[in-house]
A and B are shown apart, each in its own frame.
Chain A
Amino acid sequence: MASLIRTVKGMPPTALFGAAVIAIYVLVAVFAPLLAPYSEREVVGDQYLQWSAQHWLGTDNLGRDMLTRLIFGARNTLAIAFFATALAFVIGTVTGLLAATLGGVVDQVLSRVVDIIMAVPGLIFILLLLTIFGTGIVTLIAVIAVLDSTRVFRLARAVAFGIVAMDYVEAARVRGEGLLWIMRREILPNAAAPLVAEFGMRFCFVFLTIAALSFLGLGIQPPLADWGSMVRENATLITFGDITPLLPAAAIALLTVAVNFVVDWILHKVSGMKD
């Protein structure tokens, strides 16, 4: 606890702001059913009602409460982005460490596969795969995780290559430790710091990708509330000068800015650089 307080005190204002925003988002996402005035799919009034005491942010294109949808949107959007990023990290780290530890043919094959996948622009590849597999949450998470794991693979492999050359890894090998043991106990702990910073950046990227896909109507499907599709469904309001549909977009932007601030700070701390 004391070290936590010391860390918080040492944070620059931007990182502090970022951390606070992330904390609030997580709380909202976790306690969504308690905070929201109505339920996610309930039609509570006419379409496109103005802001009022009953409906703080008015109602959407189907007469559902906007504030409620916004709160549940935090839960759905964050959870899906988090799972996709986590899965990408599991796949990317395991294959990356395997490539670095085993080297040779395994490394060559994995690296060439990753090169090919990265030669195609990400969004295009995702759209191609969604055409084939259809849209759905599981497909969405799997497709994004597999494609995004290529970047994690490159980082994990590069970091692990430096570690594999260390004497203690050689010592473990000579001792006769198994491959998994070496990867988990000798390499992973030493590769953790850069991977954690990367997690923040990848999360932002995945989060924006999912928001973009949902905005295009190809990501999270109705009736689940989600920020990207909320913007799309209510966009006509903007042409009447109503800013309500911009709120979910602003919520996305605020979170990515916040995560970027925190990642920037972590990177400075890790690298010890001023710039």
Chain B
Amino acid sequence: MTGIARLVLQRLGLGLVTLLIVSVLIFWSVELLPGDAAQEILGQSATPETVAALRHQLNLDQPPMTRYTHWLQAMAHGDFGTSIANGLPVSKLISERLGNTLFLAAFAGIIAVPLALMLGILAALLRNSLFDRAASIFTLTAISFPEFFVAYILILFLSVKLGLFPSISNITPSTDFAERIYRSFLPALALTLAITAHIMRMTRAALINLFSLPYIEMARLKGASQGRVVMVHALRNALAPIVNVVVLNLAYLVTGVVIVEVVFVYPGFGRLLVDSVSKRDVPVVQAICLIISMTYILLNLFADIVSIVSNPRLMHAK
């Protein structure tokens, strides 16, 4: 077995273990409650019957280990239990909204990633120029702004003052694709602004680090063109950190989407999560947290594997 394959397998195994432990953590979080979880969720005024019913619904009347294995098995089969708030199957609540959220995240990602990489490379090349300084102030400001501030500014100007886009993203399963893009344009733009700033800043930093290395100076001294220095010499080694940055930001999208969805009343699952938290609807929150954490862990795993595979030093077995 080559070194690369072993490293990748090791990393995959570690990722799997992390996933399992996180699932235990999300499942056991209910146990953290002092006393009886059902009583705690329903409050002091609940009758003994409703408490008993909820205990049964949450399967609190069975031993924890049995409950956990049942829960995990059911999750693996796509059965996320039933919501406490309205008695509907959680999988039904989630499925449609998950699609909407993925659509929004993909929309933002497709615009933001190429744009941010280009701007980041440009800022690194034109270091300390007017463009670089302006970009650095812009990104620092964008990072410091709360997402809802950016979102409301977009609403104020593009929706209320100019009337270009709707301020509420009213999307139903029957909305066609073009209409969907139009109605989700503002939330996608808000997300794009947030992650573009992050990716750009970190791409710039990664490249500037590289440009100071002796082998880049060597390439310049032997007369390689600027384009060749960037594309052939610098970018290959910057690939790992840049992929890491991009994936980290895509993972960030998964959580950033929560606030943007609330602002634009977008029917995604971030809003479902917020509603469920305020209703203390534990099964829904657990299911959404598990899905989001899984996505997050898998994305990070992917970034790690890319950085292992793209490292030329590991290509040849010693």
Contact = CB atoms under 8 A, between A and B. Distances in A.
Contact of B155 (A127, A134, A239, A260): A239
A220 interface: no
Nearest to B212: A275
A179 interface: no
Interface residues of B, number: 54
Contacts of B22: 116, 119-120
Given A131-B277, A239-B155, A215 B146 contact: yes
B12 interface: no
A8 interface: no
B115 interface: no
A205 B239 CA distance: 28
Given A121-B292, A131-B285, A218-B274, A241 B148 contact: no
A119 B259 contact: no
Interface stretch (B45-53, B176-184, B250-258): B250-258
Nearest to A258: B144
A252 B146 contact: yes
Interface in A150-208: 204, 208
Contact of A208 (B33, B146, B277, B292): B146
A128 B147 contact: no
Contact of A215 (B140, B161, B259, B278): B259
Interface string A114-152: 011001111111011111111100000000000000000
Interface in B265-318: 273-274, 276-278, 280-282, 285-286, 288-289, 292-293, 296-297, 300
Contact of B152 (A119, A132, A133, A235): A235
B286 A128 contact: yes
Interface string B210-236: 000000000000000000000000000
Given A127-B285, A217-B278, A260-B144, A249 B149 contact: yes
B32 interface: yes
Contacts of B300: 119
A116 B146 contact: no
A212 interface: yes
B247 interface: no
A123 B33 contact: no
Given A204-B144, A257-B144, A132 B259 contact: no
Nearest to B128: A275
B285 A212 contact: no
A120 B300 CA distance: 11
Q: Is the interface of B mostly helix, strand, loop or mixed?
A: helix
A122 B255 contact: yes
A116 B25 contact: yes
A123 B273 CA distance: 11
B73 interface: no
Contacts of A218: 274, 277-278
A253 interface: yes
Contacts of B189: none
A256 interface: yes
A245 interface: yes
A231 interface: yes
A120 B140 CA distance: 25
Given A119-B22, A246-B153, A249-B146, A129 B251 contact: no
A261 B144 CA distance: 10
Contacts of B145: 253, 256
Contact of A231 (B144, B152, B251): B152
Interface of B: 18, 21-22, 25-26, 29-30, 32-33, 37, 127, 140-141, 143-149, 152-153, 155-156, 159-161, 167, 208, 251-252, 254-255, 258-259, 262-263, 273-274, 276-278, 280-282, 285-286, 288-289, 292-293, 296-297, 300
5 contacts: A132-B30, A216-B258, A238-B152, A257-B141, A261-B140
